[in-house]
Amino acid sequence: MRRLTFAAAVLVALVATSYAVAHGIEGAKSAKAVAGTFTATASSTSTRSCTTTDGKTIVVTDGKYTGAAAGDPDLTGAITLRTRSTVNTTDGIGVVDGRLRVDVSGRDTDAAFAAVYDHGTVAGLAVGRAHDPRAKLVANVSATFDPATGFTAGKIGGGTAAGSAVEIGTANGCRPAANRPQKSEARGVISALSTASVTVAGLTCAIPADKSAEVNAKFKQGDTAKISCAFANGQNTLTRIEKKR
């Protein structure tokens, strides 16, 4: 079995979901099959990543995805999914959990879900309430999913895609990706100075926009100075400048 290492919160979600299913069907007097399809694109996302001690890259994305659902009346309308995906991009596996809401006139269909991600496909379980306040929803869900772009070919019930399984542990824990900026310094005569950059002893560095006015007010071409720069966003960027004699 493949082993995926990151936070174990999804296990709590699955346990809570299982309890909710058992508790929610007590006293049920009827059951009927429902099904729907959906597509939702990213409206906002934020992403961070880290590297495990065994060299796996873990990418965590919090996202809001909006689109349309169609099918049974309780599953037809505008759909919003708010999710957190945690994906081992080295091996292409992970988990996605969150909430989905279908905008149904009068009362929305709303459910929490937890799913396994496997090379671009998610499959899992959603549990919540249907449009009818007396009805609970328990549904298999599946879709093609890219954290950066959203969900396509989504299904709520109605023959969802077969799912996979991942094991979540604490060994080989995740550590923040190293980020050591390259630094450079130069001392000498300012041979060129503009609102965008400064050059000293052959080293040219971009001047941050919020520092440009101050640098140009205090320094001019021909002055002797020491500059310190860091490589960021594909270029050397000025971090410090001081006059020298």
With contact defined as beta carbons under 8 Å apart, do 160 and 154 qualify?
Answer: no
Encode pLDDT of 145-168 as tens digits.
999 999 999 999 876 666 665 555
The class level of CATH for 183-243 reads mainly beta
Residues 6, 1: Cα–Cα separation, whole Å: 16
Q: Would you list the domain boundaries of the chain?
A: 3-25+34-176, 183-243
Encode pLDDT of 64-103 as tens digits.
999 999 999 889 999 999 999 999 999 999 999 999 999 9
Whether the pTM exceeds 0.95: the reply is no
Residues 88, 49: Cα–Cα separation, whole Å: 10
Encode pLDDT of 24-42 as tens digits.
555 556 778 888 999 999 9
What integer pLDDT is reported at residue 2 of this predicted model? 40
Q: Positive or negative CA dihedral for 73, 128, 118, 146?
A: positive
Helix, strand, coil proportions of the chain in percent (round to 5)?
10, 55, 35
